[in-house]
Amino acid sequence: MYLQVARCPICGVEFRPEVKSIDDGEAEVRCPNGHVFTIHIDNDAVFDCEIRDWERFGLLPQTIQHAVLEAIQSGRIPRELRPLMTRLKDAGVVVCT
């Protein structure tokens, strides 16, 4: 999953870090120049999410569909969408790895 833009504390380059795993709200990333450092990940972040059941997803109101797709694309779940995203994940409509 790629997050929003981060800035390397060593060389100052801005880049979109790839996060492979999160441990206690933090992830180790590498900037394009090879510097490794730790970044804090918000609890709102989601990684590698996709819609798996488009038929059931299509039953949601269009505004909700748009909000869910926007959250998946941005990698951040707004507070008001958390309960719905949890239900969608539990039902297998949305899968996040």
Q: Token digits for 36?
A: 């490794």
Is residue 1 one of the residues assigned to a domain?
no
**What residue numbers bound the domain in which 67 lies?**
49-96
- Whether residue 35 is found in the same domain as residue 58: no
pLDDT band at 13 (very low <50, low <70, confident <90, very high): very high
- Whether residue 61 is found in the same domain as residue 86: yes
- For the chain, the domain total comes to 2
pLDDT of 21-75, one tens digit each?
767 668 888 999 999 998 877 655 666 788 999 999 999 999 999 999 988 887 7
- Whether residue 32 is found in the same domain as residue 54: no
pLDDT at residue 56 in the model: 95
Is residue 89 one of the residues assigned to a domain?
yes
User: Are residues 79 and 44 in contact, defined by beta-carbon separation less than 8 angstroms?
Assistant: yes
pTM (two decimals): 0.56
- Whether residue 31 is found in the same domain as residue 57: no
Give the residue-averaged pLDDT of 1-6.
63
Quick one: three-class SS letters along 53-70? CHHHHCCCCHHHHHHHHH
- Whether residue 32 is found in the same domain as residue 57: no
According to DSSP, the residues that pair with 6 across neighbouring strands are 15
